[in-house]
Structure 1
Amino acid sequence: MEGKYKMKKLYVLALGVIFSTSGAYAEPGFDCRKATTPTEHVICSDDGLGVLDKEINEVYKKCLASVPDTEALRVEQRKWLKEERSDYKTDVGHLKEVYTQRIAELKAKLK
């Protein structure tokens, strides 16, 4: 009987750990409560895209702090958001590819 109790206790503990950490890494770089576009809703519903969105946001901020022409970078990023990212709207696979490519482009600007 004592063994069963220990197993239940471990199970509950494991579930608690899983649920307490499961959204921590997936939060995108924007507030999902304010998501308005189909693309934003998909990003909020997919952990992988959430992670990529957060990463692109962090790399973009680093670029803004280090590149000489911040206005050109802002224009480039807005264009990417409107054209590249929006082209795939809700296609998770393609969005992940586009995000990965853009992150690499931004990281190259940091070198």
Structure 2
Amino acid sequence: MDLEHERRLRDFQAGKPQMTVAIARTSNEVVFFPTRDVSSTKEAQAAYRELVGEELRCVVPSCDDSRLTAVFLREGTNHFRHLTKDVLHDAESLLHHIGKRVLAHHPQSTT
């Protein structure tokens, strides 16, 4: 398990869920926050933030303001966040919607 995955697991276990999944505006597909490459430089981070703002939206269908940005942290989990800090989702509701989208994204088991 790489360092980013370990951070995500620790944050989740500590009850601090982060939005590491978003929805593509045009295709409605699930997009996972990349664990590598996008945070290598300030320029790469700025470019990814711009891409997120243009291409992705919140996973909660009823979200009042679904615009997102990307957050890069030295300690903790890199994640998506609403562009405005006014939008807050209950942690359980957010995890519920993320879980539903991720499960729907994976092909059905053949066993």
Larger radius of gyration: 1
TM-score by length of 2: 0.29
Higher helix share: 1
Higher strand share: 2
TM-score by length of 1: 0.29
